């Protein structure tokens, strides 16, 4: 069982689109993939074909066994669990994370958690084999937040793998190019890859789908397949 947690360092970094596309990219290897929406402001189901009218999710149920009724499967075979209507009758995100252990049907299974930006990293029940990706954009606000996050990580004992992943990168912007070069040379824990800004991600969401399905020859497709391959290599190192 491999667990990947993805969280925006602030709102609007594009975390949910990464979760959905990454899940489908990992599913290409014909391994079980689960995507869990922990963000009350997110809408993972929109990217994976769930009808707009559907409102129910795990937060609408008092226990995990009942919440499992809301697992859906997209056309690629990704099983996903929406957040729901936020009524929260007893479950919280920590119990959902821990309960997902019950779904582990293979050592090759991937569990992707779409985490809310406002919840601090250290509040998640993380194991030493987990990988935590904090999503950043090339702007001054993320630059400030990233270095503040580094300070908190240094002060706390953390055994999981933590990386900053750049999303929506626009190579035509001089500022973004300069920031990315600075991060790659000066920012510890920066992932050695990035996700380019691609209009197909917006277009795919309008059709309740993911970019790698709508445009298999796009830059976005290449980026998400590269990200999936890198995570496979990181997870393999954890198992050694």
pLDDT band at residue 61, thresholds of 50, 70 and 90? very high
Do 103 and 58 form a contact (C-beta atoms < 8 A)?
no
CA distance 6 to 209: 19
**β-sheet bridge partners, residue 164:** 134, 190
Checking if the pLDDT of 32 tops 90, the result is yes
Tell me the domain boundaries of the chain: 2-130+202-239
CA distance 78 to 33: 5
Q: The dihedral of CA 148, 154, 160, 165: what is its sign?
A: positive
Topology (CATH) of 2-130+202-239: Rossmann fold (3.40.50)
Per-residue confidence (pLDDT) for residue 240, from 0 to 100: 59
The average pLDDT across 51-58 equals 91
- Quote the percentage of the chain above a pLDDT of 70: 97
Per-residue confidence (pLDDT) for residue 87, from 0 to 100: 74
- Quote the percentage of the chain above a pLDDT of 90: 75
Going by DSSP bridges, is the β-strand pair 190-196/161-169 parallel, antiparallel, or unpaired? Answer: parallel
Per-residue confidence (pLDDT) for residue 222, from 0 to 100: 96
The average pLDDT across 130-155 equals 93
pLDDT tens figures, 87-136: 767 788 899 999 998 887 778 899 999 999 999 888 899 999 999 999 99
DSSP three-state, residue 125: coil
Q: Is 13 exposed, middle or buried (0-12, 13-18, 19+ CB in 10 A)?
A: buried
Checking if the pLDDT of 159 tops 90, the result is no
Per-residue confidence (pLDDT) for residue 196, from 0 to 100: 97
């Amino acid at each position: 069982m491999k667990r990947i947690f993805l969280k925006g360092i602030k709102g609007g970094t594009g975390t949910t689109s990464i979760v959905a596309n990454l899940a489908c990219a990992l599913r290409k290897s014909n391994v079980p993939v689960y995507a869990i929406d922990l963000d009350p402001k997110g809408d993972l189901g929109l990217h994976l074909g769930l009808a707009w009218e559907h409102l129910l999710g795990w937060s609408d149920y008092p226990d995990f066994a009942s919440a499992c009724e809301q697992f859906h499967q997209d056309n690629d075979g990704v099983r996903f669990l929406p957040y729901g209507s936020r009524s929260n009758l007893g479950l919280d995100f920590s119990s959902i994370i821990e309960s997902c252990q019950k779904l582990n049907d293979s050592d090759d299974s991937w569990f992707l958690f779409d985490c809310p930006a406002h919840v601090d990293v250290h509040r998640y029940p993380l194991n030493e084999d987990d990988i935590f990706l904090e999503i950043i954009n090339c702007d001054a606000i993320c630059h400030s937040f990233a270095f503040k996050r580094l300070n908190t990580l240094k002060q706390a004992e953390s055994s999981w793998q933590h990386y900053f992943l750049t999303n929506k990168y626009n190579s035509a912007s001089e500022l973004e190019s300069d920031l990315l070069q600075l991060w790659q040379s000066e920012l510890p824990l920066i992932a050695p890859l990035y996700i380019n800004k691609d209009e197909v991600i917006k277009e795919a969401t309008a059709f309740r789908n993911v970019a790698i399905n709508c445009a298999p020859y796009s830059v976005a497709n290449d980026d998400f397949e590269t990200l999936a391959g890198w995570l496979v290599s990181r997870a393999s190192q954890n198992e050694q």
